[in-house]
């Protein structure tokens, strides 16, 4: 019996790609297991196989085998491939970003997201079991009519980042060049992450409340038109204390987490949000808006604002967390205890149990 994983694109230090590698370790304990992707980043060419080469491993008795399909976007060729296979299909659902947010920047990409949702609905009868990394994601599949939907935590180990050595140059830079309190956001610069709201809140924070505050935004600018608009927004507001790092290696990310006084997000849509766990591991208090799966992942271990709260409220909350020592200590303690719910060991056991039930 073979258990292979299919995903649209494999990119280094991407949360889904990381979890796919973790899962492969586990699947290989059961049988041969490879990863296939439509788009493979050159750095991962040795680990991930092009989807077009799947026929090389496909067995003659496909119904004995299992395909785990990681859904996070639509891609016509991947969907077509899936619908033509006769292996048992396990859907691993990471949620699909809302198409409307991408419409003004990249209509073609928005169309892929819309297709992704349609395909998701169409796949429901072919899928044997669906695994979701949050209750929020599970609820969406149940609403689409999926029969067997289970919540299975993502296999992530945020402590791995803590145990890694920091990048010395970055550490030195953030310790010396960044004066005053530092807020950190980690994530791709995409419209539904609402980094524009972060900038608005920071404008208020640094103009009216804490002029010496800093905001570091660490993530790759995936959508050129959005990234350009976002950079223009920062430039026009004259916010020289916002720093955009672009995509950075894990060691540099570690230096940022270590220096950060506060972790912030204004995201409208998240299926899970791994950086929340990373912030907790680095004992950085979190302020977030209570949208999508964020309240569930946070589990009370952060200052959770209402989805209707705007940049004024966000700025006040950031300021409070920076200034209020006892609140910080409380949030950090909550984060530490919340991490116990997300050990990679328990996530592995969960996945194995779910898979065993269908094999």
Q: Which residues bind other proteins (CB under 8 A)?
A: 104-105, 196, 199-200, 203-204, 206-208, 211, 225, 228-229, 232-233, 235-240, 300, 303-306, 309-313, 316-317, 320, 327, 330, 334, 337
> Which residue number, 63 or 308, has a Cβ lying nearer to other proteins?
308
Give least dist CB 179 to other proteins, A: 14
> Which residue number, 28 or 208, has a Cβ lying nearer to other proteins?
208
Structural tokens at position 18: 């990381």
> Residue 269 gets which letter from DSSP?
-
Give least dist CB 117 to other proteins, A: 23
Residue with tokens 């979890």: 19
User: Is the distance from CB of 350 to CB of 320 less than 8 angstroms?
Assistant: no
Give least dist CB 29 to other proteins, A: 35
Give the residue ranges of DSSP H helices in the chain: 15-27, 76-84, 99-102, 107-122, 135-144, 158-163, 168-176, 195-204, 224-237, 250-259, 274-281, 294-298, 311-323, 325-339, 344-358
Give least dist CB 251 to other proteins, A: 26
User: Is the distance from CB of 35 to CB of 111 less than 8 angstroms?
Assistant: no
Give least dist CB 211 to other proteins, A: 5
Backbone phi and psi for residue 83, each to the nearest 5 degrees, phi listed first: -65, -20
User: Is the distance from CB of 327 to CB of 315 less than 8 angstroms?
Assistant: no
> Which residue number, 32 or 300, has a Cβ lying nearer to other proteins?
300
> Which residue number, 192 or 254, has a Cβ lying nearer to other proteins?
192
> Which residue number, 77 or 337, has a Cβ lying nearer to other proteins?
337
């Amino acid at each position: 019996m073979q258990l292979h994983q299919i995903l649209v694109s494999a990119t280094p230090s991407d949360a889904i790609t990381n979890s796919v590698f973790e899962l492969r370790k586990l699947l290989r304990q059961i049988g041969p297991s490879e990863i296939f992707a439509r788009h493979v980043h050159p750095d991962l060419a040795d680990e991930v196989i092009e989807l077009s080469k799947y026929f090389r491993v496909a067995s003659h008795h496909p119904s004995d085998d299992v395909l785990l399909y990681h859904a996070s976007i639509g891609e016509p060729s991947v969907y077509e491939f899936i619908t033509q296979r006769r292996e048992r299909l396990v859907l691993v659902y990471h949620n699909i970003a809302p198409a409307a947010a991408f419409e003004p920047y990249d209509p073609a990409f928005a169309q892929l997201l819309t297709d992704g949702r349609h395909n998701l609905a169409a796949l429901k009868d072919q899928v044997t079991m669906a695994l979701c990394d949050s209750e929020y994601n599970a609820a969406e599949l149940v609403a689409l009519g999926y029969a067997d939907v289970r919540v299975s935590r993502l296999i992530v180990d945020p402590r791995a980042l803590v145990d890694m050595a920091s990048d010395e140059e970055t550490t030195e830079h953030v310790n010396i060049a960044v004066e005053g309190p530092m807020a950190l956001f980690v994530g791709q610069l995409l419209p539904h992450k609402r980094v524009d709201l972060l900038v608005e809140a920071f404008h208020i924070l640094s103009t009216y409340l804490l002029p010496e505050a800093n905001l570091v935004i660490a993530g790759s600018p995936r959508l050129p038109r959005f990234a350009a608009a976002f950079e223009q927004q920062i430039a026009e507001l004259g916010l020289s204390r916002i720093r955009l790092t672009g995509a950075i290696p894990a060691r540099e990310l570690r230096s940022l987490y270590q220096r950060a006084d506060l972790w912030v997000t204004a995201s409208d849509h998240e299926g899970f949000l791994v950086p929340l766990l990373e912030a907790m591991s680095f004992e950085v208090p979190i302020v977030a808006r209570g949208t999508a799966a964020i309240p569930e992942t946070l589990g009370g271990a952060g200052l959770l604002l209402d989805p209707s709260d705007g940049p004024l409220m966000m700025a006040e909350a950031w300021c409070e967390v920076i200034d209020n020592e006892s609140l910080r200590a409380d949030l950090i303690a909550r984060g530490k205890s919340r991490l116990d719910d997300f050990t990679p060991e328990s996530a592995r056991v969960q996945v194995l149990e779910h898979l065993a039930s269908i094999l």
